[in-house]
Amino acid sequence: MDLVPGGERQSPINIRWRDSVYDPDLKPLTISYDPATCLHLWNNGYSFLVEFEDSTDKSVIKGGPLEDNYRLKQFHFHWGAIDAWGSEHTVDSKCYPAELHLVHWNSVKFENFEDAALEENGLAVIGVFLKLGKNHEELQKLVDTLPSIKHKDTIVEFGSFDPSCLMPTCPDYWTYSGPLTTPPLSESVTWIIKKQPVEVDHDQVHSFHVSV
């Protein structure tokens, strides 16, 4: 597990393998998601989000660079107009077609997501790179639902989904502290970027382009 120097107070960043520093004190990240907490799929006008019930610690991450439990609030994707430029983070200036962000909030120090998003150590975001390759069977379940939310502010039920299926098998990650990449851009995030990308096929990434 590597710390990223120079990542303080800016995000997204270009991660340089050569400059990342191995930290033996960083433990593996523990991820425990309950599929029953998955609620719905929402088109917010510029992206789509899968939102989760977060009143209890049924879907949480802990360990790694985190001192507390962090509850899963939602996940979403970032993509570009072309596959060559879609991810928010880059690795040695290499960009991926898309990037998954799983957004969590500190349920020990804060009462709700809104308060946590404004404070230091309030949020933890897992970033996963998507690269072109074979069809991702679990992602396809989400892709098949996207046509039903083509219009802004459309919300449809999307239950019993475990987003850990969208993560790579390799536990290695980079971590740094920085702000959100979308409003309110607050300095509240512990970023955890998975080193191993996940394979999806071209049609699945294209479905993001036409979803909103």
Q: For residue range 147-172, list pLDDT tens digits in order.
A: 999 999 999 999 999 999 999 999 99
Total domains, the chain: 1
Residue 155 lies in a domain: yes
Residue 97 in this model has a pLDDT that exceeds 60: yes
- What is the pLDDT of the chain when averaged over all its residues? 91
Domain of residue 94: give its range: 29-168+195-209
Residue 2 in this model has a pLDDT that exceeds 70: no
CATH of the domain at 108: 3.10.200.10
Residue 183 lies in a domain: no
Residue 74 lies in a domain: yes
Any residues with CB less than 8 A from the CB of 25 and at least 6 apart, and which? none
Q: Which amino acid is at 135?
A: N
Residue 124 lies in a domain: yes
Torsion sign across C-alpha atoms 158, 71, 168, 90: positive
Residue 20 lies in a domain: no
Q: Read off the pLDDT of residues 62-82 as tens digits, 9 standing for 90 and up.
A: 999 999 999 999 999 999 887
In DSSP terms, 64 is beta-bridged to none
Residue 6 lies in a domain: no
